[in-house]
Amino acid sequence: MNTQTNMPFVAHLEPNKVLPIIEQKNELLDFVSCDSSVNQIHELQFYNPLYDTLKDVSSNTQESSLNHKYHLYSENKVYMLSEGIEKSVEKQVFIKYSPLLDPLHYMIGKYDKQSSILRNMPHWRDLSNNKEVHKKIKDPNNSSYVDGFFCYLTNMMKHNHRFQHGLDFYGSFLGVQDYFKVDIEDDIEYLTDYDFFHSNLGKLFYINHDHINKVISDGTRNHRTKIKMGSSIKNTEMVFDTLDSTDVIIDIEDINVENLEEVYRKNSIVTDDGDDELDESEDDESSCSTESSNENNSSDEEDNIEDYSSIGEDEYSDEDSEDCPVYAYIKDYPVQMICIEKCENTFDMLLENGEVNSENGIAYLFQIIMMLLTYQKCFSFTHNDLHTNNIMYVPTEEPYLYYQYNNKQYKVPTYGKLFKLIDFGRAIYHFQGNTYCSDSFDLDGNAHSQYNCEPFFDESKPLIEPNPSFDLCRLACSMFDFVMDNKFVPEHRDLCSIVHTWVADDNNKNMLYKKNGDERYPEFKLYKMIARIVHQHTPSSQLSNPFFLQFETELDTIPETIMNIDDYPVYISK
């Protein structure tokens, strides 16, 4: 059992004894050699520029990693140092491949003039490396670095303060992925409006979906010729040798991991020419019963496409190709591997399968509230894209979770599920005097104009700080259509009431729909308006809601597993 301590942890770097990929060349794992591996990575390194913001950074930073408890050891093993003894431990590992550059910007040519430097990896203060590095890859606020570092912080909360909702974090690496996989289903029409996309399809990237030919051939800018593409992607297996727990060195110039990938889902780029003020002509608040109306001529290019087609057979059958997701595979793409615990499934899946009702759903929401409340207290954290797919769970045999906050104690049934937040690529938080703000909010970012604050503050526009009410409202928007389908079913009515409250703005108008069923704020405008006109849904304010007051209790005996949020340190300042 972990021991809770009130002593603050310190984030620092330490020489990595597990995967000394910089200098050591002794082989521990035998990776299958594959001609076409989606997950194959090369030029791996520990360092990323966010490390420069930490205390006690020294010249060994290039070969050091963060001071977390467990480090990646193999596919299902991690390494830990306990009382000076090196041990390997069985763990289920999930690896997220997080892009260091914006994939859509890459596919429309925004980086074309800098193409020669896009795969150069950053080094500590540029020592021992005369290569120029793209400014986005050098930025400590790169959304990938911000994501990975907050995974680490939740891990430290788990192991230092016994905050059970923290993620186990096993390390991160930068590298170049042979084929980076990105979901472009919502962006294909946007992409096909650019000459660069058509000119480089089959050269720099390809698409897995034959049915999408029609979309491309019917696209704008006179691109009418049918383009031939590969149909799918073939999974590649990785073979591990028997592991000896005394071995701690590895050569990972190329790494291939089977079934440990996350497809990078890019938010659609939406042009919003409207201002930030409310439309005075909008209808009044919609009620709980509102329903949503909701082949190329170049022979060289064809040769390239044929080469790519070998990377992709049998993932989807021909008969369901029209319904399968649309993926782009980008060749030689800079990424960060973020290695975390493998969760069982998403909150979205539970809703989709009808496994959530008022009884368990309100208890699940209470877990989410306490996560947000804790991260806001400790790190002044906002997730800024919290929806039902960014909340996952792991099984637990504990029947209840126990919390203490503001000298009040809470006992919450788990229904066998312990929830955790994931995907912090749009997060804003503070740690040890530093502000970590995803560059999604920069001028070229996909969330630009949601806020207007440092370090991307535009002095010509009003200040809009991160909004602590944003996350619960955004979550409720993603739940709304799920729960409103059951609004008249008695066992769902209370959950419906909570969600309906959370989607309301400061004037009690529904943020999603007008009375006539039209969307009130389409697409990214919804994010902008939540940030500006929703201020009543902070996590801490929910504890006075009668639906959540049911969990308040007075414990005769304080369980060892209680998460005493009152005692958690505040990490915002130095």
Q: What is the pLDDT of residue 222?
A: 54
* pLDDT band at 232; cut points 50, 70, 90: very low
51 pLDDT more than 70: yes
Rounded-to-integer distance, Cα 128 and Cα 375, Å: 38
286 pLDDT more than 50: no
Find where tokens 């995974």 sit: 151
Q: What is the pLDDT of residue 108?
A: 97
Q: Please tell me which residue, 443 or 89, carries the higher pLDDT value.
A: 443
Pairing between strand 400-405 and 408-413? antiparallel
Name the CATH topology of 343-574. Transferase(Phosphotransferase); domain 1 (1.10.510)
529: burial class by Cβ within 10 Å (0-12, 13-18, 19+)? buried
Q: What is the pLDDT of residue 87?
A: 81
52 pLDDT more than 80: yes
534: burial class by Cβ within 10 Å (0-12, 13-18, 19+)? buried
Which amino acid makes up residue 130? N
* pLDDT band at 84; cut points 50, 70, 90: low
- CA–CA distances in Å: residue 509 to residues 395, 500, 532, 533, 540: 37, 10, 13, 10, 22
354 pLDDT more than 80: yes
Kindly report the CA angle at 423 between 484 and 105, in degrees rounded to 5? 105
Average pLDDT over residues 42-61: 81
225 pLDDT more than 70: no
Among 175, 225, 218, CA closest to 40: 175
Q: What is the pLDDT of residue 240?
A: 31
Count Cβ atoms below 10 Å from residue 178 Cβ, excluding itself.
20
Task: Please tell me the least confidently modeled range out of 184-193, 307-316, 370-379, 563-572.
Answer: 307-316
* The two structure tokens encoding residue 177: 């992925």
Q: What is the pLDDT of residue 15?
A: 77
* pLDDT band at 6; cut points 50, 70, 90: confident
The mean pLDDT of the chain is: 80
* pLDDT band at 495; cut points 50, 70, 90: very high
Count Cβ atoms below 10 Å from residue 148 Cβ, excluding itself.
27
296 pLDDT more than 50: no
Q: What is the pLDDT of residue 37?
A: 45
Average pLDDT over residues 8-33: 53
Average pLDDT over residues 404-433: 98
Rounded-to-integer distance, Cα 300 and Cα 307, Å: 11
Task: Please tell me the least confidently modeled range out of 151-165, 280-294, 467-481, 549-563.
Answer: 280-294
* The two structure tokens encoding residue 369: 């509230």
Rounded-to-integer distance, Cα 65 and Cα 48, Å: 10
Task: Please tell me the least confidently modeled range out of 38-47, 133-142, 449-458, 524-533.
Answer: 38-47
Domain boundaries, the chain: 17-238+249-263+294-342, 343-574
Task: Please tell me the least confidently modeled range out of 43-47, 232-236, 355-359.
Answer: 232-236
Q: What is the pLDDT of residue 261?
A: 46
Find where tokens 């082949």 sit: 295
Is the separation of the CB atoms in 95 and 238 below 8 Å? no
Strand partners, 395: 417
415 pLDDT more than 60: yes
Average pLDDT over residues 550-563: 94
479 pLDDT more than 80: yes
Q: Please tell me which residue, 220 or 290, carries the higher pLDDT value.
A: 220
Q: What is the pLDDT of residue 413?
A: 99
Give pLDDT tens digits for 417-431.
Answer: 999 999 999 999 999
Rounded-to-integer distance, Cα 436 and Cα 430, Å: 6
549 pLDDT more than 60: yes
Predicted TM-score (pTM) of the model is 0.83
Is the separation of the CB atoms in 163 and 152 below 8 Å? no
Hey, is 548 helix, strand or coil? helix
